[in-house]
Structure 1
């Protein structure tokens, strides 16, 4: 019950500080505006969805902006959750009550998750209303799955930020490390993986390989990258998120590597759930262990 008490207080504090309203407004503007743009300005399909119902073009068109905006919302929701209390000294008052440090970390995580989830759900509900008016029909079950996995994807960055908030004594350090993780996976992961290939190959590039773009996988000189390369690429939360969407939608939306019985299990779409689960657990546990040993 102590954990839930901390969570309720954290959620109430977020509402009073207007952070929830700001997050909801931001995501409503994004989700509603992007949906209207795709449905009414871009002709409904968003491109690249020949042979599929036009509404599925909406899903594809939203993927890229979601993988940028949602992680940032997650980071901004979580990074001050615990370290802010440490800097103000209120964490000592919180721990003077019948709350353990585990209650604080778990309660803060639940409270910030609720704040984040409300923002995403409201934004997707507005987008669903716009899409229903624009398309006249709507795949409600698939859209619900899309919404759920978007929340889980954003929670990866929120939980990491909470873990950093628990592990450090400075809000700026927690913020910049969390933003650094976002930048690594959003902008640098491909280059990092390709650099690993270059190192593993004896500081030289394999045939049909570019340090900037990776293996050539199209055209008449198509090359299939080794499984380990694709596994490391799939550890990116964005790649795992898109893989999970591939298991939700009945149509082939080409979110990842085409599925085959010959593929190893760690390259199949369902393994994206495992990757996201690892990202949801490990940073939080490490942050808690650091917080539990800290001198407050």
Structure 2
């Protein structure tokens, strides 16, 4: 890694860290962890620490993507909007340094928030439930860091690929709504049109392949294999798909031995896809733009 990338990343981390809205969301996440652990201990003090760790799944799904998108959507386009991008590129950093440095800086901001939440969960788990599920904690924390980096990458890619703040915001909001509110319509809707019925528990294989590419469900699928507590995807349901089917993983819905691309661990590949591809597209557009 070049020194210029490190310089850009360090400055970007400091700039992104000044966002009051971002840190408001971080405070909310940490507060939910504190209140949630306290409430569970009060209601069921005999609950297992590893099982309680699954409680984090819902607040993490709702807040981490929003925080990551807020952290990243102005990363590059903000410099273009202020005119400072010309000054920055007039110095040693080139366009590659800018995009990679911005990505690292914004991911670092999101990672800091996630680690604060998990550190608190670790402490409260030990205090309230008398044990520390260290293996589960480490696996879940690492997965959530990748989850946060995925949405930060989406935002930085959008920011690098467009010329205005409004376009970047529209892209990240649209992507978030696609994953959370519209995914069933986009995937199960065409299935209904083709087969004249919603996807059953064992649908056509192509549907399982497409459906698993929602990073929200990919995150929960992998999480359920890492921790004891059950984590459900945060997504709107419109009744096009059977409710029981919607709670099952692609591997569970495949008749017989699931191929590798439908197994639970493939969710990590899905998250990496949404991290790398948008950044690559945004970077390509940024390199071709006349500033």
Gaps of 5+ in 1: 46-52, 218-223
After the TM superposition, which residues 86-97 of structure 1 pair with which residues of structure 2 at under 5 Å, given as runs? 86-97=80-91
**Structure 2: runs of 5+ lacking an equivalent:** 233-247
Query: 1:275 offset after TM fit, Å?
Result: 0.9
Out of 142, 145, 155, which is 1:148 matched to? 142
Cα distance in structure 2, aligned partners of 1:110 and 1:19: 20
Partner of 2:117: 123
Task: Give the number of aligned pairs.
Answer: 271
Deviation track 1:120-158 (CA, whole Å, cap 9, x = no partner) reads 101111122122211111211211111111121122111
Q: Which residue of 2 aligns with 1:48?
A: none
1:262 aligned counterpart, secondary structure: coil
Aligned-pair CA distance for 1:169:
1.4
Q: Which residue of 1 aligns with 2:106?
A: 112
Q: Which has the higher contact order (CA 8 A, sep 6+)?
A: 2
SS of residue paired to 1:281: helix
Does the aligned pair in 1 maintain the 2:68–2:148 contact within 8 Å? yes
Residues 1:26 and 2:28 are matched in the alignment: yes
2:261 equivalent to 1:294: no
TM-score (normalizing by structure 2): 0.85
Partner of 2:55: 61
User: Which deviates more, 97-106 or 230-239?
Assistant: 230-239
Query: How far, CA to CA, are the matches of 2:18 and 2:190 in structure 1?
Result: 47
1:186 is paired with a residue whose SS is helix
1:40: which partner in 2?
42
In 1, the alpha carbon distance for the partners of 2:22 and 2:192 equals 45
CA contact (8 A) 1:185 1:238 kept: yes
Taking the TM superposition and a 5 Å limit, the aligned residue runs for 1:59-208 are 59-201=53-195, 205-206=196-197
Q: Give the whole-Å Cα distance in 1 for the aligned partners of 2:49 and 2:191.
A: 39
Distance in 1 (alpha carbons) for counterparts of 2:58 and 2:24: 22
Alignment partner, residue 220 of structure 1:
none
